[in-house]
Amino acid sequence: MPSERERMTAGESYDPEDPDLVADRRRVRRLTAEYGDTGPDEPATRRAILDELFGSLGDRAFVEPPFRCDYGYNLHVGDEFYANFDCVVLDAAPVRFGDYCKLGPGVHVYTATHPMDAEARRGNESAEPVTVGDDVWVGGRAILNPGVTVGDRAVVASGSVVTRDVPADTLVGGNPARVIRELD
């Protein structure tokens, strides 16, 4: 029988109060608190914490504290990734950022989702992965919802709520985000 962690990562219904998952989230709260307590003159310490926290971390990836996530091990970022202050990644399912991605301040990425039926929602949730291609810029306070893919070189305008896939080489904006124009 698969563990709740395996069910969660596979996108199946899982119990978020499973003791192992609770322990995983507690570990992440400790690591993100330690990360938030580091100073700008401690790059080696910051890198060591992110190496322990993330599932994979590209070269020259940088995350401004404070930063929060649920599990960390489902979070994968490419080379030259940058996350500005106050970013939140709820990574119950895999979240993948390509190379040269930039996140503005306060960007939120959500993977957890819940049944629409109230009784089915009690004690269960599931998660859908989020994938962001290479050279993507996500503006401040934008939200990426469960299951979306953002194509290479796309730009997500500040404050946008992305509820469906974003084509490559486009600018999207609004709530819900829609294609504003194609990019050269």
Between CA 50 and CA 13 the distance in angstroms is 28
Between CA 63 and CA 101 the distance in angstroms is 12
**Residues present in the chain in total:** 184
- CB atoms closer than 10 angstroms to residue 45: 14
Considering only CA atoms, which of 104, 111, 102 is closest in space to residue 149?
111
Catalytic option among 25, 47, 114, 153? 114
The reply to whether 76 belongs to the active site is: no
Between CA 137 and CA 66 the distance in angstroms is 19
Q: Yes or no: say if 55 and 72 are a contact pair by the CB < 8 Å rule.
A: yes
Q: What are the residues facing 76 on neighbouring strands?
A: 56, 96
Q: What is the secondary structure of 10-62 as a DSSP string?
A: TT--B-TT-HHHHHHHHHHHHHHHHHHT--TT-HHHHHHHHHHHSSEE-TT-E
- Tell me the catalytic residues: 114
